[in-house]
Amino acid sequence: MKSNDLARMGAIAAVYAACTLMTMLFLGSLAWGPVQFRVSEALCVLALFTPAAVPGLTLGCAIANIANIVLSGTGMLGMLDVVFGSLATFAGALFTWKLRKHPLVALAGPVLANALIVPAYLPLLLQATGFYTIPFTSISLDGAWPFMYLFGLVSTGAGEAVIMYVLGYPLGRSLARSAYFKDSSPFDAATASRAGAVR
């Protein structure tokens, strides 16, 4: 990996971790709870521009999730989020990079990865932090893993979709106009291919 890529990776990791920690401090469980709007996930749009975003976002997620162990008091159970939450970020960012020529489709990567992976371990973390029923219901988390997974699939997926398409997509369009990212922008190519298809 070139030094420029390492620098980009480090910068992306630092910004992602800082944004996640700010969300945790000011929005509480919206960064990691049963209904998630982790604003920092909008930065997954950077994977449209550089492959360095894939390891950078993954590292940033791991750092933020390690910090969350201290902030939320989940103890060693929080390592589930460090491992599998970071895996979800890696998978989503890699999907975005691989399908970058189709930005709207590419941004579905983080939505799908988080919706499928995070709810699998979230019930354990919720119980460790004082949640004993599925949010907005009276269904106990004990023995209700399938229901909790379905709830998480919908709530985490919907939250991630809002972040990626309401915040991430406009952020990507704005970055594409900057001199720094203009040469690696997938948006011009996507517009050109759609125009060619119309002809």
For residue 169, give the CATH number of its domain.
1.10.1760
Q: What is the pLDDT along the chain (199 residues), one digit of tens a residue?
A: 677 889 999 999 999 999 988 887 777 666 666 667 788 899 999 999 999 999 999 999 999 989 878 876 667 777 888 999 999 999 999 999 999 999 999 999 999 999 999 888 877 776 666 666 665 566 666 666 777 788 888 888 999 999 999 999 999 999 998 888 777 778 765 443 443 443 4
Query: Domain tally for the chain?
Result: 1
Which residue range(s) make up the domain with 194? 3-198
The gap between the terminal CA atoms of the chain, to the nearest Å, is: 41
Say how many residues make up the chain.
Answer: 199
Token code pair at residue 111: 């939505």
Token code pair at residue 106: 């590419």
Q: What pLDDT does 63 receive?
A: 94
Q: What pLDDT does 171 receive?
A: 94
Q: What pLDDT does 196 receive?
A: 41
Q: What is the pTM of this model?
A: 0.83
Q: What pLDDT does 137 receive?
A: 63
| Residue 92 identity | G
DSSP string, the chain: --HHHHHHHHHHHHHHHHHHHHHHHHHGGGGTSSS---GGGGGGGGGGT-TTHHHHHHHHHHHHHHHHHHHH--GGGGHHIIIIIHHHHHHHHHHHHHTTTSHHHHTHHHHHHHHHHHHHHHHHHHHHTT--B-TTS--BSTT-HHHHHHHHHHHHHHHHHHIIIIIIHHHHHHHHTSTTTGGG-SHHHHHHHHHHHH-
State how far the Cα of 136 lies from the Cα of 138, in Å rounded to an integer.
Answer: 7
Q: What pLDDT does 192 receive?
A: 39
